[in-house]
Structure 1
Amino acid sequence: MAHESVKITVEIFGEKHVVRGDGTASSILGLAHDVDNKMRLIAQRLPRLNVQQIAVLTALNLADELAKLKEEQETLMQLLGEKTE
């Protein structure tokens, strides 16, 4: 069963944002929490950056994580394909 669109207010890096998305409110809150944590970690490590720079670095870090996971998934799918042949 597909989830309906959910509209929820989340707080990321001290700012409130209204977000609409597919899924549950708790899943969206969890994603917002993950982004907030990553932004705070970057801000702590690089205190001279402004909010926009922190947001861009956070996006790049998340994109890198996604690319690595996609590559890992592709490798696993190839291994699985080899085992079933």
Structure 2
Amino acid sequence: MSGDRKNKITVDIYGQQYTILGEESSSHIRLVASMVDDKMREISSMNPKLDISKLAVLTAVNAMHEYLKLKDEIDQLELELKNIKD
């Protein structure tokens, strides 16, 4: 039953308050929010004229790019491990 518990956390991302509901720990949710905030600020510092919507989309695109790169690395490592075992 404890796996069904949801945490409701209010976080600040780029000066806006968001309430996030999730199964992860409060510290994990805060960490994710902090990473999103950091990435938004990083992208904004490179192009301060971006409006919030474009900044949010560019942050999402950047995050998915990083995710796919890491997924490809994991897939490659799993393939190498499989080849070692065979």
TM-score clears 0.5 = yes
TM-score by length of 2: 0.94
CA distance in 1, matches of 2:61, 2:14: 17
Structure 1 Cα separation of the partners of residues 3 and 85 of structure 2: 31
Unaligned runs of 5+ in 1: none
In the comparison of the two structures, how many residue pairs are matched? 85
Report how far residue 22 of structure 1 moved: 1.4
Instruction: Sort the Cα spacing of 1:2 and 1:79 in 2 relative to 1 into closer, same or farther, 3 A.
Output: farther
Alignment of 1:30-69 (within 5 A): 30-69=31-70
Letter matched to residue 42 of structure 1: I
CA distance in 2: counterparts of 1:67 and 1:47, whole angstroms: 27
Displacement over 4 Å in runs of 4+: none
Partner of 1:72: 73
Report the CA distance shift for 1:3/1:84 in structure 2 as closer, same or farther (over 3 A).
farther
- Are the counterparts in 2 of residues 10 and 16 from structure 1 also a CA contact under 8 Å? yes
Q: TM-score, normalised by structure 1?
A: 0.95
Runs of 5+ consecutive residues of structure 2 not aligned to the other structure: none
Q: Name the % identity.
A: 36
Distance 1:33 1:63 in 2: 17
